[in-house]
Amino acid sequence: MEKIGFIGLGIMGNPMAAHLLAAGYQVFLYSQGGIPAELTQAGGLACANSADVASKADVIITMVPDTPHVEAVLFGENSVSSTISAGKVVVDMSSISPVATKEFAARLAKQGVQYVDAPVSGGEVGAKAASLTIMCGGEDAVFERVKPLFEKMGKNITLVGGVGAGQITKVANQIIVALNIEAVAEALLLAAKAGADPARVRQALMGGFANSRVLEVHGERMVKRTFNPGFRIELHQKDLNLALSTARAVGVSLPNTATAQELFNSCAANGGSQWDHSGMVRALEKLANFEIGQ
């Protein structure tokens, strides 16, 4: 049985590591914010830093907030790259830059280390329920090697392509979700201000080509005015920042993603960085001087 390292034990990493421990794996733990007591009580082995983890484990999983944190864990002080040896694997399950991901993988490859990017969707609920969607990039053989670990943490596990393809897919996912939220918000707000009942409009639209998971779930939140997360606007802002910076790096113009990000920025300016992302409708409501609930 592979020895696992798990670096980053926050809201997501904590329950994900717990599933690996429950499955009987030996798991070496490190997190900048401290190691949760329940994980060591469950048999997890506390380490002093990322270098310590990488010297002891065969497969090192990282689950940290953003690109700079992954870079620090892999290449900073007391980092993974300072102790890792050939034949080991780094699996980054954070949601970070696809462009940086390819750089990190190339640097580790020089040490004989393989890399899989495997960002997730499903949030805290999915992490606790071991029902995460996991979008993977990497070589077939190394994917097969680490897939049993993914199966302890998630359900819908896809190898999309080579290194970086997982992060690209996650970015694509977050673009579509944000823009579908924006679409439903424009449509329901127009309908409401033009005098129709947005709840009945939503119901009528669910039978046709306008239907989507977002119309079902986030459309309902807009109508019922329930903006408790869910998925916080500040996290979706981070993801759209990845989308827009990746677009700039590879040379693509994303006009509606840019607008969606500006609407999130407006929500944040009005105290909404902790609202559910369906709260984007409130930025459009400000512009229209009208609320769907009126």
For the annotated catalytic residues, the residue numbers are: 170
Question: What residues between 83 and 102 interact with a copy of itself by CB under 8 A?
Answer: 98-99
Q: How far apart are alpha carbons 131 and 53 in whole angstroms? A: 26
Structure-token pair, residue 94: 């954070």
Compute the least distance from the CB of residue 260 to a copy of itself, in Å: 7
Compute the least distance from the CB of residue 99 to a copy of itself, in Å: 8
Q: Which residue has the tokens 């290194």?
A: 163
Confirm or reject binding of residue 288 to a copy of itself (CB under 8 A).
yes
Q: How far apart are alpha carbons 115 and 104 in whole angstroms? A: 8
Confirm or reject binding of residue 268 to a copy of itself (CB under 8 A).
no
Question: What residues between 102 and 121 interact with a copy of itself by CB under 8 A?
Answer: 121
Confirm or reject binding of residue 196 to a copy of itself (CB under 8 A).
yes
Confirm or reject binding of residue 235 to a copy of itself (CB under 8 A).
no
Compute the least distance from the CB of residue 4 to a copy of itself, in Å: 25
Span of 25-33, 39-47, 88-96, 252-260 interacting with a copy of itself by CB under 8 A: 252-260
Q: Contact at 8 Å (CB) between 62 and 70?
A: yes
Question: What residues between 131 and 150 interact with a copy of itself by CB under 8 A?
Answer: 133, 135, 137
Nearest CA-CA partner of 50 in 34, 71, 65, 31: 31
Confirm or reject binding of residue 212 to a copy of itself (CB under 8 A).
yes
Confirm or reject binding of residue 200 to a copy of itself (CB under 8 A).
yes
Span of 27-35, 51-59, 199-207, 264-272 interacting with a copy of itself by CB under 8 A: 199-207
Confirm or reject binding of residue 265 to a copy of itself (CB under 8 A).
no
Confirm or reject binding of residue 161 to a copy of itself (CB under 8 A).
yes
Confirm or reject binding of residue 287 to a copy of itself (CB under 8 A).
yes
Residue 96 or 214 with smaller CB distance to a copy of itself: 214
Residue choice 23, 129, 247, 268 for contact with a copy of itself (CB under 8 A)? 247
Exposed/middle/buried for 294, CB within 10 Å: 0-12, 13-18, 19+?
exposed
Structure-token pair, residue 166: 């997982």
Contacts 24+ apart (CB under 8 A), 287-292: 288/189, 288/193, 290/189, 290/192, 290/193, 292/188, 292/189, 292/192, 292/198, 292/222, 292/223, 292/225
| Count of beta carbons in the 10 Å neighbourhood of residue 192 | 22
